[in-house]
Amino acid sequence: MQPGLVQKLSPNMKGAQRRQLRGLAHALKPIVQVGHGGVTETLVNQLETALYDHELVKVKVLNNYDGDLEDVAIALTEATQSACVQQIGHILLFYKANPDKPVIELEG
């Protein structure tokens, strides 16, 4: 993933907020997986549901996915209108506040 892409995919978020979310996500396990089929409507719906329920979701891009990790991050960010907070290896971290009952309160 190119340097600065995470900041580009979460432009309204401050560095301290990204740090806070990374800390909260440390113990989380990936609950959404991108396989050889790539980003599909079903996958987007699964991530939307997970974001609504948890606000902070790890997505694992499996080794059998032939495409570019950067394309996955961009597609999922745009499709879910969320923020891509972090990318480590094949793990992407997405955040989207719950519109009805937000649980995570971002600093600053």
Please report whether residue 101 resides in a domain: no
Please report whether residue 44 resides in a domain: yes
Query: Is 1 a residue whose pLDDT tops 80?
Result: no
Determine the structural domain holding residue 36 and report its residue range. Answer: 5-95
Q: What pLDDT score was predicted for residue 5?
A: 87
Average the pLDDT over 96-105 and give the result: 95
For the chain, helix, strand, coil in percent to 5 are: 40, 20, 45
pLDDT (tens digit per residue) in 75-86:
999 999 999 999
Total count of domains within the chain: 1
List the CATH number of the domain containing 14.
3.30.110.60
Please report whether residue 106 resides in a domain: no
pLDDT (tens digit per residue) in 36-95:
999 999 999 999 999 999 999 999 999 999 999 999 999 999 999 999 999 999 999 999
Tokens describing residue 14: 């401050």
